[in-house]
Amino acid sequence: MGAVPQQLIGDRRINTNVQMSKDAGHGAVLEEIEGLIKVYKDGYVERLPAVPHVPCTWACEPGVTSEDVALAGSSTDLWARLHMPVHRHQRFPLLVYFHGGGFCVGSPAWRCYHEFLARLTSHAACSVLSINYRLAPEHRLPAALEDGLAALRWVRQQAAGVRFDVGRVFLAGDSAGAAIAYHVAAAVGAEAAAALRPACLKGVILIQPFFGGVERTWSEKNLAQAAERSALSLAASDCYWRMALPPGANQDHPWCNPLAKGAPPLEGLRLPPLLVCVSELDILRDRNLAFCKALRNAGKGVEHKTYAGVGHAFQILHNYHMSQVRTNEMLIHIKAFITNIR
């Protein structure tokens, strides 16, 4: 595996000047999610240091080692953070993981993801390859989906390696990352993606998948969350989609709403077994549950788990009283899902 250029480690290309204003010459702010991102009239994008970045050497989980790797062969300087159990003599299942952040913010180097995925590595006895995919609005969809497929191509090239078992590969992600994992899995199932084999995709793990739609669900309209605890509001969701979708597209675009009339029929998709993790207090709850029901009706193998008393991104933000307990439950469910699929 190649070394990651130093300017990429920790995603240091991200601007962290929180004092930026109109006086800097960028004009008015056109889109903003408070504390995370601002998009100015001239197209300048400012990402704010809401979450600390940590190096791959950040020690947080006994028995786990992490390193940043360049995914050679990509045309977009794609890199990832690889978390591995220290027992290098053994080849473990591999989770190719996509972080959340509305397609617009986030990094494998964010401390919350580094810690959660290192913990997942230890608990589920797997390796985790956390992908630093391109972000919107500079790189609107399908850029992130293309990066997901590029990551799987890189995994396929590791067939002769000893770091992980390319015969037991899982796609996983949370929020926007879960949406990426789903769409990449659907693409891999198509005949055109046959070149990605012999990397064997065994399953898909979707944590609070970030989907949308023109018609609002009950939970999107009515689910009350304490402002200080809510990681995703309806206004923020709409803003993310405006920045991530192709210009002029609405939320019934197939990349946003896989159940829309124009989306590929679920019956025709070749999907491996899926685990969908739903949060009771998440505005996406009803949309996630409807997605699971539609998959089942289409004959797909899907199980879902609902986590009571917590909302969106509880497993990385620890922003609910029950976050720790529910995170432990989620880790147990993910481990069982991986272990039971051979």
Cite the active site residues.
Answer: 175
Q: Which of 79, 82, 78 is nearest to 56 (CA)?
A: 82
What would the two tokens of residue 95 be?
């989770």
Q: What is the rounded distance in angstroms from the CA atom of residue 337 to the CA atom of residue 175? A: 19
CA distances from 47 to 25, 73, 185, 253, 317 (A): 17, 28, 29, 26, 18
List strands edge to edge, sheet with 45-47. 29-33, 37-40, 45-47
What would the two tokens of residue 300 be?
């797909």
CB 49 within 8 A of CB 66: no
Give residue for tokens 């390859």: 129
CA distances from 156 to 227, 327, 337 (A): 44, 31, 22
